[in-house]
Amino acid sequence: MPFGESGADFAQEGRAVTAPTAGQRLAVAVDAPQHSGLDRPLDYLSEQALAPGTLVRVPFGKREVLGVVWDTGADAPAESMALRGIVEHFGALPPLPAAWRSLVEFAAGYYQRGVGELALAVLPAALRDLDAAALERRLKRLRKKIAPPAAPAPAEQASLRPLTEAQSAALDALRAQAAAEPPGVSLLHGVTGSGKTEVYLREAQRVLDGGRQALVLVPEINLTPQLEARFAERFPNRRIVSLHSGLTPAQRLAHWLQALLGEADLVLGTRMAVFAPLPRLGLIVVDEEHDASYKQQDGARYSARDLAVLRGRLERAPVILGSATPSLETWHNALPIADGGAGRYRRLVLAGRVGGGGLPRVRLLDMNQVPREQQRASALAPALMQAIAERIARGEQSLLLLNRRGYSPVLHCLDCSWKSGCPHCSAWRVFHKGDRTLRCHHCGFTERVPRACPDCGNADIQPLGRGTERLEEQLAQALPGARVARLDADTTRHAGALAAGLARVHAGEVDVLVGTQMVAKGHDFRRVTLVAAVQPDAALFSSDFRAPERLFALLLQAAGRAGRDAAHAAASEMWVQTWHPQHALFAALDRHDSEAYAHSQLAERRQAGLPPYAHLALLRADARTQEAARAWLDAAAALGSEAAAAAGVVLYPSVPTPMQRVADVERAQLLIECAARPPLQRFLAGWLPQLQGLKTPRVMRWAIDVDPLAI
């Protein structure tokens, strides 16, 4: 299990639940100010018995706020205490389930946040603005709007695509696992195109036919509609709702209410959906479990994948983690103890593609052999351009991956070397040719492109480097008549733009698709036979130890977009333009060997003492000056140095973050390391109250990030 022994102990022991009687105090979780020290539920007076999990409105300072009645033990008589009374309770709603409260309680403790802060953060924001009467009216309208679903019929096996032998074996293993006690966690390790989604659908069918609910997590919003359509097609008589940040507040509240009331059979969403209250939960699926999007990057920095594993244990529900490129932590958990792993998960393998099609051939294009003048003229080598032209002539599609949007990462002056830096961030402003702007992708600061160099007045300022916008332009010029399209954050800002762009690709109206990582994973492009990675080398030598792992996953996922139709599989190719063709990462990519790459990376991690063989946390501080941020971190380290030494915890010196300044705020961090998770958690829990008492006159904010993804 990702949390080690502590997660299992919490799930097994739980908390004693005692419903308060009239005249006794209630423990209520409210969203108290961060670092106020009010990180536990507060006491209020109730005139009637309210079960734990009941939503209430309570006075907090001069305001009335939303709260959740929390589990309590033996209470002192309310008459002996000067308590404020609750304002009202939301009697139209059932209490939030005990397993939901246990999940929140554990996540708050593990990620060092307040219980009320996390509990209220994962509830729909629209609830905060409603009183009990308004919510009751909203529920009445919702019940009228929801038509009773038709009686669900068992899936007609004759209408379903026959399963492969590997899919059948995986389903047999999953059903045996579901019958075990506890059901446990399975890693569904399948190459791209191997039919993992069909396995999800069959398992969901089994759970729904048994009267239970299913929760399916996806890493990104743009993958949700596609998967939702697959589930809706398979289960036309089931109620499916989505939960993600792309919904309006009213939509999110309506979907959340359907989940809590048991009206939704299946909930599909991004990381926030791991907290969806489901009274009949019977299955949890985490698709593309390796994706970094499952880690929250602000507020309570939780990992939805790890919490999904814990939730499965709490609710006795099987958990499926699916990926073609499992994260190293998941891989380690799925390795048997005899092979040096943790032996916590069961690994199920889908080694071949559905239909018998082969994986695309990988071609490494050594950019050292491409003449300089050709490199300057185009982002693509002549051989790759010729391969794309051949695909167009055959009526096939190509996909080009360049994980950098805009026209050029920077503008520069040929005379004085001025560059388009952001005055508010430690970053360059990106040149966007479409609207002739220089735009910072970190703080949003935007200006029109200057007519001349701001420093020396030279009119000859040039773009340096290439983004997707420039690559699209060069392809249109080099391939006259070709239908070139681009999908990135700039072209998909408006509602419906992404769906419309993908529909054009699926309909065959695009010959060459240029995009960032949003087009590299999860999409079933049937006509794509060539995928090319244009500039992947930067991650090979990053200071972030996880960067190569992420690059390998991205390239292997991108390669999987080619040859998904078995009729075209033999001709499918993955081209990689690289200056380092001998790198071990590309050798593993050439063989499509994620297993060998994972083993080599785990060996390096073990030797270096990095996760999953060590456990990390980061203490981050933001201030107006770098000196103030680091001085606060140094003072924090001094407060905890004695306890850290006793616990076997290492506190490293404070350093600036890789992106040192964002929006005129200087950022620094302090790395915390320990060989085992329990002593690290005990140290953090004891250190946090000391940090809350540490004066912060020059520090704007600080936070602890447990299990950080990037250091």
Q: Which of 175, 187, 201, 404 is nearest to 288 (CA)?
A: 187
CA distance 213 to 557: 30
**CB-CB neighbours of 166 under 10 Å:** 18
β-strands 55-60, 88-89 pairing: antiparallel
| Cβ proximity of 266 and 216 under 8 Å | yes
Q: Tokens in use for 102?
A: 């246990």
pLDDT of 145 reads 85
Q: Is position 456 annotated in a ligand binding site?
A: yes
- For the record, the structure tokens of 428 come out as 């360059």
**Which spans in 494-617 are helix H?**
497-506, 547-559, 584-590, 594-608
CA 643 distance to own-chain centroid: 33
DSSP character string of 159-190: GSPPPPHHHHHHHHHHHHHHTSSS--EEEEEE
Strand partners, 306: none
Concatenating the DSSP letter of every residue in 91-153 gives TTSPPPPHHHHHHHHHHHHHTT--HHHHHHHTS-GGGGG--HHHHHHHHHHHHHHSPPPPPP-
* pLDDT, tens digit (0-9, with 9 covering 90-100), for 160-183: 788 999 999 999 999 998 988 889
Please give the structure tokens belonging to residue 667: 């950022």
pTM confidence score: 0.91
List all residues 6 or more positions away from 240 whose beta carbon is below 8 Å from its beta carbon: 228, 231, 232, 264, 265, 266, 267, 268
574 in Cβ contact with 361 (< 8 Å): yes
In 552-693, DSSP assigns E strands to: 573-578, 615-623, 649-651, 655-662, 665-674
What domains, with CATH codes, occur in the chain? 5-96+134-145 (3.40.1440), 157-355 (3.40.50.300), 357-407+466-606 (3.40.50.300), 408-465 (no CATH), 615-706 (3.30.70.100)
Task: For CA atoms 202, 208, 214, 217, give the dihedral sign.
Answer: positive
Residue ranges in 1-110 assigned as alpha helix (H): 5-13, 98-110
Q: Distance between CA 674 and CA 643 in Å, rounded? A: 13
Consult the annotation and say whether 453 binds a ligand. yes
Q: Distance (Å, rounded) from C-alpha 20 to C-alpha 593?
A: 57
**Which portions of the chain are predicted below pLDDT 50?**
1-22, 73-80, 156-158
**Cα–Cα distance for residue pair 600/457, rounded to 1 Å:** 53
* Residue appearing with tokens 């970190």: 442
* CB count in 10 Å sphere of residue 88: 13
Instruction: Provide the CA 606 distance to its chain's centre, in angstroms.
Output: 25
Are 701 and 633 contacting, i.e. CB atoms less than 8 angstroms apart? no
Query: Collapsing DSSP states into helix, strand and coil, what is residue 304?
Result: helix
Q: Is 674 annotated as a binding residue?
A: no
Residue 130: per-residue pLDDT: 93
Please give the pLDDT value at position 17: 38
Closest to 551 measured CA to CA, from 599, 514, 586, 600: 586
pLDDT, position 22: 46
Amino acid sitting at position 663: A
Residue 667: its pLDDT value, please? 97
Tokens for 290?
């390796």
Rounded distance, CA 51 to CA 377, Å?
70
Known binding residue 413? Answer is yes
Task: Give me the helix-helix angle, 98-110 and 5-13, nearest 10°.
Answer: 150
pLDDT for res 157: 47
